[in-house]
Amino acid sequence: MNTQGHGVINVAALGAITGPDLWLPILGGALLPDIPIFIFYAWTKGVEKIPDRTIWQEAYYRPFWQAAVAVGHSIPLAGAIAITGQIIGEPVLIWLGISAILHSLEDLPVHNHDAHRHFFPISNYRFISPFSYWDPRHYGRWVSLAEWGLVLIASAVLWSNMSSWAGRLVLILINSSYGFAIFYSRNLWRNCTESNCSQPQSSESNSSVEVGKSKASSKV
């Protein structure tokens, strides 16, 4: 799922339980799992100056970056943060951890060959979903529209509970970004088709796969 979508959906859903006082740690927990991916992109794009296609098809599958992404998307590690918060009586840590877990649960059904290792470090298992939040070979167009629909509903919920116009402007920008995200996915797909870079889907359809094996195009 797109990072900004996690932010809006988690704050709307979990914020309805906690109230606005804990919106910030919930937002932090929603963004935290994808931070290694932003660092990866900044490094490969800004420092190594690798073209976008190579970034998502090759550099993303380097073991170091795969490990960093697995740490961010680990349900056991996020659970440890929440449990630590519970033990020391710190709601900020509890809701940061819970929101990071929810982020992983939102990613789980919409990642195909780019699936994360959500049970790292206990297991390297990756659930290869038949659905993708961006890849048109796996219903990406429909899933991205469904995601946008959920974000719109969550935005409407937050809008009515929000007095700040700065916050409302952020919601407008996030919803606008979905048009760009969908266009960008289609662009990636077109590049992939032109170079005939589709990967062997059949060998990866139902089970965990070795990290680094896939060469297909990807994005966060």
State the residues that interact with Zn ion by CB under 5 A: 33-34, 107
Q: Is the CB of 35 or the CB of 152 nearer to Zn ion?
A: 35
CB of 34: closest distance to Zn ion in angstroms?
A: 5
Q: Is the CB of 33 or the CB of 136 nearer to Zn ion?
A: 33
Q: Is the CB of 44 or the CB of 219 nearer to Zn ion?
A: 219
Single out the residue of 25, 36, 206 nearest to residue 125, CA to CA.
206
Radius of gyration of the chain (CA): 18
Q: Is the CB of 34 or the CB of 204 nearer to Zn ion?
A: 34
Cα(140)–Cα(147) distance, integer angstroms: 10
Q: Are 214 and 199 within 8 A, CB to CB?
A: yes
Cα(100)–Cα(84) distance, integer angstroms: 14
CB of 202: closest distance to Zn ion in angstroms?
A: 26
CB of 42: closest distance to Zn ion in angstroms?
A: 16
CB of 116: closest distance to Zn ion in angstroms?
A: 7
> What is the number of H-type helices and E-type strands within the chain?
9, 0
CB of 73: closest distance to Zn ion in angstroms?
A: 6
Q: Is the CB of 10 or the CB of 155 nearer to Zn ion?
A: 10
Q: Are 97 and 79 within 8 A, CB to CB?
A: yes
Q: Is the CB of 33 or the CB of 97 nearer to Zn ion?
A: 33
Cα(88)–Cα(84) distance, integer angstroms: 6
Cα(123)–Cα(117) distance, integer angstroms: 8
Residue 133, burial from CB neighbour count under 10 angstroms (0-12, 13-18, 19+): buried
CB of 16: closest distance to Zn ion in angstroms?
A: 22
